[in-house]
Structure 1
Amino acid sequence: MPGTLSAFAFRPALALACLAVLAAPAAAAAAITGVRIQNLGADQAGVPFTFGQVFAPGAFGKNDGLAARLADGKVLPLQVDVKATHPDGSVRHAIVSGILPKLEARGTASLELVKAATAKPAGGAGIERLLADGLSASIDIRTDGVAYRATLADALAAAKGASGRTNAGAWLDGAVAREWRGAVPLKSAGGAAHPLLAASFAVRWYPGLEKQARVEVVVENTKTFQAGARNVEYDVDVEVGGRKVYQQAGLTHYRHARWRQLAWWNEARAPAIHVRPDGAYLIATGAVPNYDQTIKPDERALASLAGRLNPGNTGPMRIGPVMAYMPTSGGRGDIGPLPSWSVHYLLSTDVRARDAMMAAAEGSGSWSVHLRDERTGYPVRTDLPANRAISTHMNLAHKGPLPVPRCAGKGLCKTPYTNDTSHQPSLAYLPYLLTGDYYYLEELQFWAATNPLGTDPNNSGKGQGLVRWQQVRGQAWSLRTLGHAAYITPDAHPLKAYFTRQLDNNLTFYHATYVVGRPNRLGAYDGSGEGAFRVKNSAPWQDDFLTWSFGHLAELGFAKATPILRWKATYPVGRMTAPGFCWTEGAAYSLEFRPSGKQGGPLYESFAELYRANYDRDFYRKDDGKRASHPDGTRFIDQPCASQAQADWLTAAHRRKWTPGRMAGYGGSPMGYPANMQPALAVAATSGIPNATEAWERFDARAEKPDYSKTPQWAIVPRR
């Protein structure tokens, strides 16, 4: 990780100055938003906290100061490290730090965030002072009979050697909290660096509190251009402040994966807190989808999330609650605009949901998708001429000329984790929003950078990062992840412009292909465009994922996504409102949408034609895909839409009770195809296209709606 942090003062007296401000009168300004700091343990004094905060456009100026107004009206000064801004110059995302004077056992402090005078910049001595006062951190690895070691002191020396100073690349830099980051090779006693493994250290400390420093140790097997890529098995010991904080024998570190360990310098004073965000405000900013806030997460579901975490699935090279084989079919909690545990957290801020979300975020480093460019220190980018031929597709593994080395030998890169863009969860975006941890930012960047690479480089536009070649659902989830990286990567980060351009490249393709080209009148993805994924039939649920993705990008502020959304939204809206198409079948698993039945042929001209082509026949396909017919020989298409007669027909065909107005496609399931359709209809209604409001109202009034309290990841509603 490149860069080091600015020169820092180490001033224990600062704590007294901060606490003295608490006696100031309550700020008169209205609160922007708020957080609650929950004590997870015994009484605590001088409690440091740091969290990430998203702000709505115009709510908080880049040069504004911030303070926390407590329940008793007193005001606590806060440090704000601005990371990303909106187009109007106001703050989009910042990292906020402060120190609570005390927090009672199992108590909660409510903080209203209000504008205040801008804090004065920090100054004074730097991280060297911490090392001089006894802070130490090290990692020892033994592999292939050789011992390798890296220390925090080594990382500091390497940073100073590269720049001659330690004030480049600040992450947190203020009077309350500071953070220094530095990378270093793992070296043998003879000074030889391990060819594949590397380490990095980060120290976040609070100068006003003695020995209040959080140390991060990261071990990576992520080199992109180093020959001999393979898994590495080793014994490892991590020490912080002279004590062992992690030890493991025989750890298998997978190719192009990484892990980290956190520990506090003074373990006895490590803050045991949970910073609970204002989920409603976060949703209102548009940074996350508009989840239905009337849903109360089910207690048993929250308990289940806690019960699923154990030493066997957490820690280095473990993935928490995520499905190990991503291509696994069927509905599950990790697939959706956000995973179910993340939505549970937004709606409840329950620590059990947070723990599941963070376990998944930590585990995201275990997948073999991490390509770090050793020359720049950042996730690899393909817009450089030398990198445009990069591909991770197995069929190109031994063909050249490709700059990325493949596995050094058969069986040397075996991993229990299989990535797949078509079923890829959002693992690190919300954790980064809420914590401001650089590790999670890089996780988001690694996944966004790697997603376009699993094909021949021509298909992805020779470095343009196009995802048109993926399955329709894969395009949806890859666009989501790329949009998140472009939206939240800090303005000053070298990859900000890269991800923004890659997203723009993709939106340019869809705009030219569908908005300008208008290959069909249904608004359906049909495989048009050079290098695009070809489809014979339509999978409406996958198409709905893609519609939602364009809607989400529009909400994030990417204006070029709006006309694409308005064109694409025609498809879900038409299936709910168009004359001649019965809306109870709007969430069908599959629809034949070409008169010729041939891939690449023209689509039907109307929704009425589409409906007749799929339902004007002597059989009906049930939710499970099996054919069904009525005992008396009547046909489904002849029953009036959403009528009692239609329900009676379906009752006889299914041999179970069917309610009038129930949608097909597992309509009562929170993971059924109508549930998959819901986000698309929600963003369509928000877009204001013709008939979208009617489509949403009809959908919302349907019979047998899902109970989203256990699995809420599809419970998105229109913004008003």
Structure 2
Amino acid sequence: MPVTFGQPFKTGDWKHKETGLVARDNFNQPVPLQYDDISSYRDGSSRFAVLNAQLSGLQAGERRIINLFTGSASAPPQLLPSNPAWNLSLEAKIYNQQVNVVTFGDRNGHTDGTPFLVGEKIVMTITGPTTESFQQTITSDMAGGGYITLTKIAEAFQQLVNSQSQTYIGEKIGGGYEKLWLKTKNPAQGAFQVSFSYSGQAKIAQVNQSNYEAPQTWVIDGQDLLKQQISMANASQASANRRFHGPVASEFKLAIPFKNVSTGKTHDFLTARLDTRMFEGGQKIRTNVIIENNWTFKANPKNVTYEMAFKVNGATVHQQPIFTHYHHARWQKMLWTGVEPKVQLRHNMRYFLDSRAVWNYDLSIRVSEATLAAEATNLARARTQQATLGPMGNAFLEPSFGSTGGRPEIGPLPRWTALYLISQDERARASMMAVADAAAAVPIHFRDENTDSPINTVANPNVSTHFNSNNLPDSTDPTIWGPDTAHQASYVYVPYLLTGDNFYLDEAMFWASWNVFSMPASYREFGKSLINRQQVRGSAWALRSIGEAYRIVPDNHSMKSYFKTVLDNNLAWYKQNYVVNHLGSPMGAIQHEVGQTPPWQNDFVGTVMALLAENNEPNAKDVHDWFSQFNVGRFMNDANGFCAAHAPGYYWMNADAQGNYFTTWNQLYAANYPGDVGKPCSSIAVTEGYPDNAGGYAAYARGMLGAAAGAQAPGAAAAYAKWKAMTPLMDAEFAKDPNWAIVPR
């Protein structure tokens, strides 16, 4: 029974360059063990490794413990069959579907165009597989030439088409404003034409975004490439495509473009990556089939609509129904040749958290059966509702990242990830992994054709996808997604820590890389790759993603030095500008605008910086202590005129009308809470920041203080204890939503 998992280590526990790692079970019997993809601390000890173990005699329902010890090095690698019974092939039927984009009105930016008038009639006729007409009369709320009224016209026609037609479908993608995308429900139904009957003066325009073509078949066959890699492994020859090769498991990374069966042409965008892991001398083979549409420099990137058959030895083992694969997105499907092991693995979570790979979540929380049962119900419902999106479904994620309001994915870790760390229940795990897979559908994945890795902004200092300075090939094809940094979650970091799967390692690198080059090159000082010139919360989450990637990318990976450089550059910038040069408020607050600071967003930065400080990253401790003056001080200065009841604020003025920064707590308090000046702090109830909620500003502060105490910021432990006592109703809510349930170590 083979099992693969990721394992973080405490600093200094395993000096892998000096000694190996061995395993024994709870019967004190040796367990064959292999370790790979090691990421080291800066002191040289192992921070993280991917472990493969081979269990013997494991019975159904049996629980067995694997204990790890330092010891002798691994045994010699397994010998692999030269021609394994794998023969995996993929067959994609790709549809070139017609997509017609209709634009109502001729507005120019914020300048209204020629208006539609109340009572005017618009008849849209679609002629193709069927001929259908849809009529809309302009109502008072649709009249005009601005984006609000034009959007309502587009939405009205979308509703008409989708409620009346059996052939056509209308879509409003990413907001879309006055635009309506029209296509056939079945992409093989052929071409169509759109015409309008309208006698008014306003404008209606349309363009074919893509034209219909007959479906074509594209294939890949991985057997010969796998045989080549096996031959090199058995001969102890180095290979860039080999992830690991040892006594328990060997894994090969095979990248193959799809080819047209008729012409032999290679597809411009669609590539299969077959992460093929072999156990027991090739008797069991686990293949993670990853389909990517994410080249960076290929011209005219686009969505690809297809259905796909997965075949082993010519027999179909899985069929992916038709769906549209978004540009700059990817997805995965796991296949087994041989008997698939059915194993649930749980970590020693106390040690897992003590490694400081993640924050110290409160393991005393007991997640209720009702909460976990609801996870399974909600996930099943989401999958049913999103079935037509196929692998591009969003699971529990909000596709429009910038939507206002708190969401369960926004926090140090998403709600589902925190639920799993605390409970290690399979239902929480399923939600966490579904969200991780959904993140792969977001169009932020840019693989450099020259390096076969995510974009390196040190080597490519000018690249940017920012709308003001985009210099990469762009796609006009619609997706459901509107990504940003300010509302971004940590989707895949913990899934990689748990599984060791290369898919999630690549995901972490894609997100961290995009968070840098989604900014204008000049904003990030080009090759320095700085992330500070954006919303305070955006800087926090971007820095978190960079730190995550640096911690997990293996030492021998080509991107390791890149993420080290980017992390070091950003921490050095924060120290130089805040700690040394005292940028902005001398009280340690980060500005949103001149003279204004959002305390809750400062808490985001403080929480992220605390984990970096706990991991002894250069300059992180000094920077965290500087910001903790403000973040911790808000809770500990009752005697100096600032009552802690108001500490979880929304936006505060922290400078006077002349732009002079406040330097004392009573100045800050008087400017923002003048009605409470002079009142005893004991008389002021905690009502600000949703103190009885697990996802409000008060909860952000609780998590920040727990993290700050773990990083040994001055006064943080006392501040945490005080704030916990002041927000007692929050604890019960953390059992349902624990993404801010961080406690002092």
Where do 1:381-530 residues align within 5 Å? 381-384=456-459, 387-397=460-470, 402=471, 404-407=472-475, 412-519=476-583, 520-526=585-591
- Name the TM-score, length of structure 2 as normaliser: 0.79
Instruction: State the one-letter code of the partner of 1:522.
Output: M
- Is residue 138 of structure 1 aligned with residue 52 of structure 2? no
Residue deviations 1:679-720, cap 9 Å, x none? 32223333444433332221122143302100000011122x
- Equivalent in the alignment of 2:54: 99
User: CA RMSD, aligned part only?
Assistant: 2.3
Please state whether the residue corresponding to 1:276 is helix, strand or coil: coil
Q: CA 1:487/1:213 → structure 2, altered by over 3 Å: closer, same or farther?
A: same
- Name the TM-score, length of structure 1 as normaliser: 0.81
Residue deviations 1:563-583, cap 9 Å, x none? 000000011222111211000
Please state whether the residue corresponding to 2:391 is helix, strand or coil: coil
- Equivalent in the alignment of 1:609: 667
- Is residue 187 of structure 1 aligned with residue 259 of structure 2? yes
Pick from 353, 356, 363 the counterpart of residue 283 of structure 1: 353
- Equivalent in the alignment of 1:81: 36
- Is residue 357 of structure 1 aligned with residue 415 of structure 2? no
Instruction: State the one-letter code of the partner of 1:561.
Output: A
Please state whether the residue corresponding to 1:108 is helix, strand or coil: coil
- Equivalent in the alignment of 1:639: 679
Structure 1, 317-326 or 224-233: larger mean CA deviation? 317-326
Is the Cα contact below 8 Å between 1:82 and 1:91 reproduced in 2?
Answer: no
**TM-aligned CA deviation for residue 433 of structure 1:** 0.9
Percent same amino acid among aligned pairs?
A: 35
Is the Cα contact below 8 Å between 1:218 and 1:261 reproduced in 2?
Answer: yes
**TM-aligned CA deviation for residue 193 of structure 1:** 0.6
**TM-aligned CA deviation for residue 75 of structure 1:** 2.5
- The structure where strand makes up a greater share of residues is 2
- Is residue 555 of structure 1 aligned with residue 581 of structure 2? no
Residue deviations 1:114-150, cap 9 Å, x none? 2343222215446x431xx354333434233322111
| In 1, Cα distance between equivalents of 2:534 and 2:88 | 47
| In 2, Cα distance between equivalents of 1:712 and 1:256 | 32
**TM-aligned CA deviation for residue 155 of structure 1:** 4.1
Residue deviations 1:573-594, cap 9 Å, x none? 2211121100000001121111
- Is residue 712 of structure 1 aligned with residue 666 of structure 2? no
Q: CA 1:109/1:557 → structure 2, altered by over 3 Å: closer, same or farther?
A: same
Instruction: State the one-letter code of the partner of 2:651.
Output: S
- Equivalent in the alignment of 1:8: none
- Is residue 273 of structure 1 aligned with residue 343 of structure 2? yes
Instruction: State the one-letter code of the partner of 1:673.
Output: Y
| In 1, Cα distance between equivalents of 2:708 and 2:687 | 19
Residue deviations 1:229-254, cap 9 Å, x none? 11111222222354434323431010
- Equivalent in the alignment of 2:7: 53
Q: CA 1:288/1:555 → structure 2, altered by over 3 Å: closer, same or farther?
A: same
Pick from 602, 611, 615 the counterpart of residue 543 of structure 1: 602
Instruction: State the one-letter code of the partner of 1:693.
Output: A
Is the Cα contact below 8 Å between 2:37 and 2:555 reproduced in 1?
Answer: no
| In 2, Cα distance between equivalents of 1:639 and 1:230 | 62
Q: CA 1:54/1:703 → structure 2, altered by over 3 Å: closer, same or farther?
A: closer
| In 2, Cα distance between equivalents of 1:551 and 1:166 | 40
Q: CA 1:134/1:668 → structure 2, altered by over 3 Å: closer, same or farther?
A: closer
Q: CA 1:461/1:606 → structure 2, altered by over 3 Å: closer, same or farther?
A: same
Is the Cα contact below 8 Å between 1:289 and 1:552 reproduced in 2?
Answer: yes
- Equivalent in the alignment of 2:647: 586
Q: CA 1:596/1:316 → structure 2, altered by over 3 Å: closer, same or farther?
A: same
Is the Cα contact below 8 Å between 2:625 and 2:714 reproduced in 1?
Answer: no
Please state whether the residue corresponding to 2:634 is helix, strand or coil: helix
Q: How many residues align?
A: 613
Residue deviations 1:41-97, cap 9 Å, x none? xxxxxx111111111111123143333332233232212225212223222111111
- In structure 1, runs of 5+ residues without a counterpart are 1-46, 528-533, 618-635, 648-661
Instruction: State the one-letter code of the partner of 1:201.
Output: L
Instruction: State the one-letter code of the partner of 1:79.
Output: Q
Q: CA 1:329/1:114 → structure 2, altered by over 3 Å: closer, same or farther?
A: same
Instruction: State the one-letter code of the partner of 1:525.
Output: I
Please state whether the residue corresponding to 2:557 is helix, strand or coil: coil
Q: CA 1:556/1:241 → structure 2, altered by over 3 Å: closer, same or farther?
A: farther
Instruction: State the one-letter code of the partner of 1:451.
Output: N
Instruction: State the one-letter code of the partner of 2:447.
Output: R
Is the Cα contact below 8 Å between 1:489 and 1:495 reproduced in 2?
Answer: yes
